Amino acid sequence: MPLWHIYCPKEAYSDTEKQDLATRISDAYAKFGLPRFYVSVIFHDVEQGSFYIGGEPVKDFVRIWVDHIARRMEPAHRGWWMKQVKEIVTPFIGSKSFRWEAHVDDTPIEFWSIQGLKPPPEGSDAEKKWFAENKASAY
């Protein structure tokens, strides 16, 4: 499970743009063998006057908060991953001249379940089945 929270000005993105960005995010994880259904993206449309930085209201800022649970990010790969985040979001941020910030939390896998099931071990036959079927099932 990566869970992406994208806090953005209300109406910053059309439904199509949201779908395109969510697909781009999901594609990035699927490339590395994560089942697509592990990836969740939530857009939090923030009303004008409800987002403040340094005590000042902003209407040109996007804040991205990512929870990683399905895989532990090795320290040596963290800088590389943050470059991937930048590559994923730049077409949706830069074209609109938004300022932005992102961070990633690396949550222990023991605090995660899907449909009440403990996800199968990385690379296992059960995980490959979940990937192929794009859903959780008993194993």
Cα first-last separation, the chain: 18
Q: Looking at residues 43-66, what average pLDDT do you find?
A: 96
132 burial (CB, 10 Å; 0-12 / 13-18 / 19+) is exposed
Contact 17, 24 (CB under 8 A): no
Gyration radius (Cα) of the chain, Å: 16
Q: What is the pLDDT of residue 115?
A: 93
Q: What pTM was estimated for this model as a whole? A: 0.92
* Residue 19 pLDDT > 90: yes
Q: Is residue 17 exposed (0-12), middle (13-18) or buried (19+ Cβ within 10 Å)?
A: middle
User: Which domains does the chain possess?
Assistant: 2-133 (3.30.429.10)
Q: What is the mean pLDDT of residues 26-40?
A: 95
- The answer to whether 127 and 120 have CB atoms below 8 angstroms apart is yes
